[in-house]
């Protein structure tokens, strides 16, 4: 309640935000008609699609097999009534504290919040969430309830680890979805925009929603960025080079040298095929590829094809033979060098680990060291992605892929986005649909949206043999090219990069490889996550990294003895690799060997977009 000054005129309390402007009734009415028209179109289109696709028969009613997990959780919870009563009493006491604090604020007293958003939670950044007493109450009541729900389900005894993780994950999805920031009447920023624009923001938002539904052919394909702002090869992925080899799965790019002398051993980068390689060459200011050439490396990068139905039966083994092994042959033809250093990123690193074991079995010594960016070979602690790989879900995925021969790109995007739903789903729902704003041009989000398809044979091998059965970590558990895969036979120097906040390849999971390879292994941990933890140019002076040169057997020991260093880990890696790259030789030019360049970098494979 605002205090009264001496002249009797109401004034705003300290820190209170300005009152919302009253809308123009005529303009608001016109926009409400437009909203009704667009809403009617949404419903009509949905009903038509249901009729065309057969309604519920078009797909499984519980594709993530969530129902069974929550039924088991409920059953166990009912056997522990005392815990439920205790949790309810605790929530009631916290609400009493919140009501008391709100009442004190209303009479002009300052109070400390009962609960605050965790650091990094951007949903409540708008000043009204703190300064307006009503919205502060809504915010805190939501946070209290969300914490209560999540704590309650986490403390249910009797659940197996897999079920407990699934319940926790999908409870968080529900809690995030129900945040007051996701609704017009309980989001002060949206409410202000609605009043000030007479509802024009909601009209534009519905237009955006209709466009996204059309683009996603009935599924909501949320635009995360202005996709017209970027053109591959023009303002992203612009490092100069040539495609010097290709087959049905890869194009191999050799990049121009940026130094007069280069290290004798070339550097091969095998990126993930779930996304495209140009995450390592977004802009010249943060391009790992450009920076590596500036350090004197002759850089080769695999650019994976965006597969369609005719590659459906290409499996993990084919990706090894037609990927890194074919690239090794091409690099030797292009440079005359038999020995190279290699990098594998994410699933590209998983493939490289298997390839190294295959090469060791065949006594193939062409790779003399290997670096792994955020890559797993032991999937026993694979993080939240393991929630999606129980047998029921794998059968659903396999049946879905069988119709086309591949997994639709959008399905992988949705899965990864769910791991960070507030940042990668709900923030765009608010911005695009409630505020009616166009998404901001952002190269990283353009790359994130430029997803690829997954051939059924390869993808099911990866999900079943790696994630579900963890066969790569078992000596002889997997067989590729007729050779039992045993990572213990890999004796070359290994550099393992992990990231502290990686939600896709958790550092605990990456560390497990230190106990599998038999050669010298250097493990480091970078700040940030799966992408920013990798792509962190030294000139940015962002984040930090940790090193520990002691030989330890657990990640807890490693963390306890680690030393923190400011800035990028790239310099540590260069110091390590430069000692393994051989003497300096004259710089190479793409095409000066036995291979004739096919086209300019970044090539044509990377430009094929999945619809």
Exposed e or buried b for every residue in 306-340, given b needs 16+ CB within 10 A? bbeeebbebbbbbbbbbbbbbbbebbbebbebebb
Q: How would DSSP label each residue in 209-270?
A: HHHHHHHTTTS-----S-GGG--BTTTBS---EEEEEE-SSEEEEEEPPSSSEEESS-EEEE
Note if the bond before 545 is cis, omega within 30 degrees: no
CA distance 435 to 425: 15
Taking the chain, what is the end-to-end CA distance rounded to the nearest angstrom? 54
| Annotated catalytic residue, options 346, 397, 466, 521 | 346
User: Who contacts 228 (Cβ-Cβ below 8 Å, separation ≥6)?
Assistant: none
CA distance 150 to 178: 13
Q: What angle do CA 187, 191, 195 make, to 5 degrees?
A: 175
At residue 373, what are phi and psi to the nearest 5 degrees?
-95, 115
- Stated as kind and residue range, the H or E segment containing 480 is strand 479-480
Q: How would DSSP label each residue in 441-456?
A: P-HHHHHHHS---EEH
Asked whether 545 and 527 are in contact (CB, 8 A), the reply is: yes
Residue whose pair of structure tokens reads 């179109």 in the numeric block: 41
User: Who contacts 334 (Cβ-Cβ below 8 Å, separation ≥6)?
Assistant: 244, 245, 254, 300, 588, 590, 593, 594, 595
At 167 the three-state DSSP class reads helix
For the stretch 210-214, contacts whose Cβ atoms lie closer than 8 Å and that sit 24 or more positions apart, written own/partner, are 210/38, 210/41, 210/42, 212/432, 213/42, 213/45
CA distance 192 to 170: 32
At 14 the three-state DSSP class reads coil
Residue whose pair of structure tokens reads 């497990």 in the numeric block: 512
The packing angle between helices 161-177 and 133-154, to 10°, is: 170
Q: How far is CA 292 from CA 181, 234, 264, 298, 299, in A?
A: 43, 21, 14, 8, 7
Residue 487: exposure state from Cβ atoms within 10 A (0-12, 13-18, ≥19): buried
At 412 the three-state DSSP class reads helix
Verify whether residue 466 is a known catalytic residue.
no
Tell me the catalytic residues: 346
């Amino acid at each position: 309640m605002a205090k009264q000054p001496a002249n009797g005129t109401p004034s705003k309390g300290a820190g209170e935000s300005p009152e919302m402007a009253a809308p123009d009734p005529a303009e608001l009415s016109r926009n409400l008609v437009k909203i009704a028209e667009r809403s009617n179109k949404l419903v009509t289109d949905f009903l038509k699609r249901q009729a065309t696709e057969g309604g519920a028969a078009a797909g499984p009613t519980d594709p993530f097999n969530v129902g069974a997990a929550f039924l088991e959780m409920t059953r166990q919870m009912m056997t522990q009534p005392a815990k439920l009563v205790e949790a309810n009493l605790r929530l009631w006491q916290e609400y009493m504290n919140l009501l008391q604090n709100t009442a004190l604020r209303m009479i002009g007293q300052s109070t400390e919040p009962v609960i605050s958003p965790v650091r990094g939670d951007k949903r409540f950044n708008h000043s009204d969430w703190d300064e307006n007493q009503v919205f502060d109450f809504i915010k805190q009541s939501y946070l209290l309830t969300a914490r209560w729900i999540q704590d309650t389900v986490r403390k249910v005894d009797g659940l197996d680890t897999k079920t407990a993780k699934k319940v926790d994950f999908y409870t968080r999805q529900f809690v995030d979805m129900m945040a007051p920031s996701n609704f017009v009447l309980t989001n002060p920023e949206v409410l202000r925009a609605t009043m000030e624009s007479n509802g024009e923001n909601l009209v534009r938002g519905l237009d955006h929603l209709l466009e996204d539904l059309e683009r996603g052919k009935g599924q909501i394909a949320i635009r995360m960025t202005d996709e017209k702002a970027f053109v591959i090869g023009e303002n992203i992925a612009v490092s100069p080079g040539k495609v010097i080899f290709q087959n049905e799965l890869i194009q191999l790019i050799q990049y121009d040298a940026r130094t007069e002398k280069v290290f004798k051993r070339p550097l091969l980068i095998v990126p993930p095929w779930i996304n495209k390689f140009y995450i390592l060459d977004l802009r010249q200011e943060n391009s790992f590829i450009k920076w590596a050439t500036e350090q004197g490396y002759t850089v080769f990068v695999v650019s994976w094809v965006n597969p369609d139905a005719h590659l459906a039966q290409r499996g993990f083994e084919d990706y090894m033979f037609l990927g890194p092994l074919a690239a090794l042959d091409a690099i030797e033809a292009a440079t005359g060098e038999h020995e190279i250093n290699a990098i594998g990123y994410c699933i590209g690193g998983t493939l490289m680990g298997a390839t190294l074991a295959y090469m060791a079995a065949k006594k193939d010594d062409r790779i003399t060291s290997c670096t792994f960016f955020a890559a797993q070979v032991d999937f026993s602690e694979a993080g939240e992605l393991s929630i999606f790989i129980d047998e029921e879900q794998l059968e659903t995925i396999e049946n879905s892929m069988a119709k086309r021969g591949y997994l639709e790109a959008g399905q992988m995007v949705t899965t990864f986005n769910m791991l960070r739903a507030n940042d990668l789903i709900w923030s765009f729902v608010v911005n695009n649909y409630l505020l009616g704003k166009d998404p901001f041009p952002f190269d990283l989000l353009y790359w994130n949206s430029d997803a690829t398809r997954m051939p059924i044979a390869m993808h099911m091998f990866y999900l079943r043999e790696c994630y579900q059965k963890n066969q790569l970590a078992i000596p002889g558990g997997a067989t590729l090219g007729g050779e039992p895969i045993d990572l213990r036979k890999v004796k070359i120097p290994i550099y393992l990069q992990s990231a502290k906040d990686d939600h896709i390849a958790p550092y605990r999971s990456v560390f497990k490889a230190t106990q599998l390879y038999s050669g010298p292994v250097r493990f480091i941990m970078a700040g940030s996550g799966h992408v920013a933890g990798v792509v962190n140019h030294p000139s940015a002076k962002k984040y930090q990294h940790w090193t520990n040169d002691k030989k330890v057997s657990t990640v807890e020991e490693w963390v306890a003895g680690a030393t923190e260093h400011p800035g990028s880990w790239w310099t540590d890696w260069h110091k390590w690799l430069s000692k393994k790259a051989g003497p300096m030789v004259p710089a190479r030019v793409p095409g000066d060997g036995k291979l004739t360049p096919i086209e300019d970098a970044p090539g044509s494979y990377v430009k094929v977009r999945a619809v």
